Structure 1
Amino acid sequence: MAKLEVGDRAPEFELPDASGRPVRLSQTLERGPVLLVFYPGDFSPVCTRQLCSYRDSYERFVSLGVQMLGISDDTIDKHRRFTEEHHFPFSLLADPQREVIDAYAGTGMMSGGRAHRAYFLVGQDGRLAYIFVEKVSVFYRGADELFDALRAALQVRAQAPK
């Protein structure tokens, strides 16, 4: 896995959502910036708290024009059950082969060999505007902290010379 940096072109991917429909990054970017939220797994206590906090603050992210996609190596069926139980307004994408996880966040021992908890904001131009990878999998960026970081990253991009 090559280490991605802010300004790099985001690796393209297509993964199925909880309904089995394919979601392609480049097509999603046509509607605005995309926040990729990598997390170890559905129904775990920390991941559930994390994603529910984003659900509860989702309108704040939308106010920035940011779309959110959650990505783990769980199956389509498990994502469907997790989404139905917690009413997530954003899509969860299934990456059971961990190809996209490896291209972005990677896996680690602290997450039981599953995806690192990580955040990648992809600007509408397809370039990475914000990256944060948690060092310890039991921690996650709270909705307020994540919102502030995204707002700052988007402001920097808006002020950058074209």
Structure 2
Amino acid sequence: MAQSKEMLKVGDKIPSFELPDQNGKLISIDSLLGSKNLVIYFYPKDYTSGCTAEACSFRDHYEVFKEYDAEVIGISTDGANRHNAFAKSYQLGFILLSDKGKKVEKLFGVPRALFGLMTGRVTFVVDKEGVIRHVFQSQTQATRHVDEALQIVKSLK
């Protein structure tokens, strides 16, 4: 399936969207803008080795992100129940959003990976005004997403 648009880039404003979190609560991205910088990372699937390593790395650095007024948000096509179990299994304290219809993935222009079968691994660092300040894309360097995001978040303070 072809992407509906090019991937968002540095300087672009993120689109408004709402998705259910791991507890089934509908989260509006607009409710977070203004008070927090955002680290929005798209990932393929809960419980896979790369995605688990990435999520645990975000978990291990979550307090530092919070010190720099940043909220971490993971997005995949997994459902809320699977996200909930994944979050509990690995004590993930940040938001996981369920994009089952790939609506937000398409809004951001996130490329598909593995012959189009799964979501690509892309991290967007967004300032409090909703402007993208950094984009990092790597399917194989899962934990580097955390290092890249943290470096940019620290520069936004």
Task: Report the TM-score when normalising by structure 2.
Answer: 0.88
Contact 1:13–1:100 (Cα < 8 Å) also in 2: yes
Please tell me the residue identity of whatever aligns with 1:108.
Answer: R
Question: For the residues of structure 2 that align with 1:149 and 1:76, how far apart are their CA atoms?
Answer: 29
Structure 1: runs of 5 or more not aligned = 156-162
- Give 1:72 shift: 0.3
User: 1: distance between equivalents of 2:92 and 2:85?
Assistant: 11
Q: RMSD between aligned alpha carbons?
A: 1.7
Aligned to 2:71: 67
* CA 1:144–1:39: 2 relative to 1, 3 Å: same
Q: 1:132 to 1:145 in 2, by over 3 A?
A: closer
1:50 corresponds to 2:54: yes
* Partner in structure 2 of residue 9 of structure 1: 13
How much does 1:111 deviate? 7.2
- The amino acid across from 2:154 in the alignment is R
Distance in 1 of aligned mates of 2:109 and 2:51: 16
Instruction: Kindly indicate whether the alpha-carbon contact (under 8 Å) linking 2:43 and 2:122 is maintained by their aligned counterparts in 1.
Output: yes
TM-score (norm 1): 0.86
Deviation, 1:60, is: 1.0
1:29 deviates by: 1.3
2:92 is matched with which residue? 88
Q: Alpha carbons of 1:32 and 1:8: their partners in 2 closer, same or farther (altered >3 Å)?
A: same
1:160 aligned residue: none
Higher mean displacement: 112-121 or 56-65 = 112-121
Secondary structure of the structure 1 residue equivalent to 2:114: helix
The 5-angstrom pairing of residues 3-42 of structure 1 reads 3-42=7-46
Give how far 1:105 is off.
4.7
Checking the alignment, whether the CA contact within 8 Å between 2:124 and 2:136 is kept in structure 1 is: yes
Aligned length, in residue pairs: 152
How far does the alpha carbon of each residue in 1:132-152 deviate from its partner, in whole angstroms, 9 at most, with x for none? 122xx2222253343123323
Amino acid at match of 1:43: Y
2:132 corresponds, among 122, 128, 132, to 128
Of Structure 1 and Structure 2, which has the larger fraction of its residues in helix? 1
Q: 2:37, 2:153 within 8 Å by CA — same for their partners in 1? A: no
CA 1:112–1:44 in structure 2 vs 1: closer, same or farther (change >3 Å)? farther
SS in 1 for 2:134: strand
| Pick aligned residue for 1:146 from 146, 149, 152 | 149
Matched letter for residue 84 of structure 2: R
Percent of aligned pairs with the same residue?
A: 30
Does 2:124 align with 1:113? no
Q: Within 2, Cα distance between the matches of 1:47 and 1:35? A: 16
Tell me, in whole angstroms, the C-alpha distance in 1 between the residues paired with 2:121 and 2:115.
8
Range moving further from structure 2, 139-148 or 52-61:
139-148
